[in-house]
Amino acid sequence: MAVQLAVARHDLARATEVLTAWPDGGDLRSSLERGLWTAVVDDAGGDRQAARRRFGALVALAETEGHVRVFLDAGPAPLRLLRSLPPSQGADRLRSLLTAETAGPRPAGADPDDPLTGRELLVLSYLPSRLSNADIASELYVSLNTVKTHLRNIYRRLGVNGRQEAVKRATELGLV
């Protein structure tokens, strides 16, 4: 989560610091997550060739081992890398899943106990900055109504009634 927020804030130094300290969980999911975020940070830092090479290997491994959820949980960050990969059965399947997951707000009937989506975490990361909702929408290249929808979902999932409470609760949970 800390890497995801650092990437959302364009703080690559912090993201690299977290990746360096990433504990070796000894399991495939942990290795995939670390590799995914390393590729995202490499890409954001301008090393696109290394990022694509690493990401392609991760997609192939995740597909054969059935760990597609790692990519879905990462939110929109891997989409750029996924789009840059040449067509393959695993990449195409993952690409369609990620595009559907990150295309917009969740349906109104979504379970409020679900964790925040990648886009909701991204909106949440802007709340302490005091940017207006319109400014956040502009930064994310989405409509004001999309930001408002994400905010409603964030408030509901965090069990709060407003922006300040959301920032306070997110800080308590280590999300910002």
**Choice among 48-62, 77-91, 152-166 with the minimum mean pLDDT:** 77-91
pLDDT tens per residue, range 116-144: 888 888 888 889 887 899 999 888 788 99
On the 0-12 / 13-18 / 19+ scale of CB atoms within 10 A, 60 is middle
Residue 105 confidence (pLDDT):
47
- Choice between 131 and 2, residue whose per-residue pLDDT is larger: 131
For the chain, the first-to-last Cα distance in angstroms comes to 9
The candidate with the shortest Cα–Cα distance to 91, out of 103, 101, 78, is: 78
Helices (H) and strands (E) in the chain, counts: 11, 0
The candidate with the shortest Cα–Cα distance to 87, out of 118, 47, 59, 128, is: 59
Where are the domains positioned within the chain? 2-102, 118-172
Residues 171, 176: Cα–Cα separation, whole Å: 5
- Choice between 28 and 95, residue whose per-residue pLDDT is larger: 28
Q: H helices within 45-143, ranges in order? A: 48-65, 69-73, 79-84, 89-102, 118-126, 133-140
Correct CATH for 118-172 of 3.30.450.40, 3.10.20.600, 1.20.1050.40, 1.10.10.10: 1.10.10.10
Q: Looking at the predicted structure, is the pLDDT value of residue 92 above 80?
A: no
